[in-house]
Amino acid sequence: MSSPFAIEATDPASAARLGRLTTRHGQIETPIFMPVGTQATVKALTPAQVLDCGAQIILGNTYHLNLRPGPDLIAKMGGLHRFMGWDKPILTDSGGFQVFSLAKLRKITDKGIAFQSHIDGAKIFLGPRECFDIQQKLGSDIAMVLDECPPWPCEEDACRAAVERTLRWAAEFKGYAEDEGFLAAGHHVFGIVQGSVFDDERRECAQALSAMDFPGYAIGGVSVGEPEEEMLRQVGVTAPELPADKPRYVMGVGTPPQLLEMVALGADMFDCVMPTRLARHANVFTPDGLLNLRNERFKEDPRPIVEGMDNYTCRHFSRAYLRHLVMTGELLGHTLLSLHNVHFFLDLMRQAREHLRAGDYVPWKNAWIARYRAEEA
């Protein structure tokens, strides 16, 4: 299968690369962070605001959209892009992460996952067929195969069983995508590597998925409770086993330093709920680390969150005003802090791309992380 991904530059001192992924709804410059719109919305932000932050692609979630409002309704409304007013690329997760996060509400078999809805307890079954059908109705630009995300820690036998299911489901899902013209129409399907902390399992899973020739690949099963150094090691073990000419997506991560380290390991795409989730708890990102605007020291602070940062929040509002919104529970605070945090992550990836073009990514990365973490020392 020809790759929709083109590598434009590689870093001389690391595995980092500058790329471009072509989709039905436009091109994506990588490395890129993807804001999470689980239920067809990036929380507290309009699509225009997300676009103004520099977003090139956002995420939706198959499990949640299947429950509410349902794929048939979304298809009737013209697909997910039209339904939510977003005309750029959309990646939809498979629902496999809910195998991990909703462990008390599901049962796994070789055929798929039987859930109880976390909303009303209704019984739901999600196998490769159902997972594909939902994402086809949504009109996803990038559809993720159904996978089993093992917890951390887990025994190697349980991990091996999860990897075997993941590979079987991946092949079945890709078969539906081929047979029903989904791939031929320009949609993409990404395989997902599992394997927990077991290097051999990860390598074997990556190699088996590579042989299936997907348009792109994801590294799953990270940031599920393991220490940071273990998470980075898993990415470092997995990325070299994946085809060099295909995009690599690390799912569900991470902090700004983690993103920069994973770019150096050869990863291209990332997503995380952290920017909007922390914003709702008054936490904002700066080059000098996180700030909590509930802190009394910001009560009379006339400065923006970050001096010179080109987003609506930093151009127009002081820390003092933003703290006032937080302390009074005004909903505008959620919007303005979310806007800043999402822009911060996207701008960080923009800077990474600039330094990849310039050929000095590693020294820039090291200096950026050292400044960010200086307050932790």
Tokens 């409304």 label which residue? Answer: 77
pLDDT at 377: 57
Regarding whether 285 and 207 lie in a shared domain, the answer is: no
Question: Cα separation of 61 and 94, whole Å?
Answer: 7
pLDDT in tens, 80-131: 999 999 999 999 998 777 656 666 778 899 999 988 888 888 888 999 999 9
d(CA 281, CA 358): 37
Question: 82, 90 in Cβ contact below 8 A?
Answer: no
Render 127-196 in DSSP notation, one character per residue. -HHHHHHHHHHHT-SEEEPP-----SS--HHHHHHHHHHHHHHHHHHHHHHHHTTTTTTT-EEEEEE--T
Q: Are residues 161 and 194 in the same domain?
A: yes
d(CA 286, CA 372): 8
| pLDDT band, residue 277 (cuts 50/70/90) | very high
Name residue 281's amino acid: H
The catalytic residues are 93, 271
CA–CA dist 95, 93 (Å, integer): 6
Radius of gyration in angstroms for the set of CA atoms belonging to the chain, rounded to a whole number: 20
Enclosing domain of residue 314: 279-376
Q: What is the CATH number of the domain that holds 205?
A: 3.20.20.105
* CB distance 346 to 55 below 8 Å: yes
| Residues 18-58: tens digit of each pLDDT | 999 999 999 999 999 999 999 999 999 999 999 999 999 99
* Domain limit, last residue, from 249, 276, 303: 276
Token digits of residue 243: 């085809």
Helix, strand, coil share (%) of the chain residues, nearest 5: 45, 20, 35
- Nearest CA among 32, 19, 18, 28 for reference residue 360: 18
Collapsing DSSP states into helix, strand and coil, what is residue 115? strand
pTM above 0.85, yes or no: yes
Is 328 in the same domain as 210? no
For residue 192, list its beta bridge partners.
Answer: 218
Residues 364 and 235 in one domain: no
pLDDT greater than 60 at residue 158: yes
Question: 189 and 74 in one domain?
Answer: yes
Say yes or no: 204 and 130 in one domain. yes
Co-location of 245 and 351 in the same domain? no
Domain edge (last residue) among 235, 250, 276: 276
- Cβ(292)–Cβ(319) under 8 Å? no
What gap in Å lies between CA 352 and CA 71, rounded to an integer?
36
Say how far apart CA 266 and CA 366 lie, in whole Å.
16
260 and 308, same domain (yes or no): no
Q: Count CB neighbours of 375 within 10 A.
A: 11
**Residue pLDDT, tens place only, 221-259:** 999 999 999 999 999 999 999 999 999 999 999 999 999
In a shared domain, residues 357 and 296: yes
Of the residues 220, 253, 276, the one at which a domain ends:
276
Total structural domains within the chain: 2
pLDDT by residue (tens digit) across 306-363?
999 999 999 999 999 999 999 999 999 999 999 999 999 999 999 999 999 999 999 9
Q: What is the pLDDT of residue 274?
A: 98
Same domain, 263 and 287: no
Read off φ and ψ for residue 29, nearest 5 degrees: -85, 130
Indicate if 29 and 164 belong to the same structural domain.
yes
* CB of 145 closer than 8 Å to CB of 135: no
> Do both 149 and 220 map to the same domain?
yes
How far apart CA 212 and CA 316 sit, in angstroms, is 50
- DSSP track, 246-296: S-EEETTB--HHHHHHHHHTT--EEE-SHHHHHHTTTEEEETTEEEETTSG
Q: How far is CA 144 from CA 45, 62, 81, 131, 222, in A?
A: 25, 9, 17, 9, 16
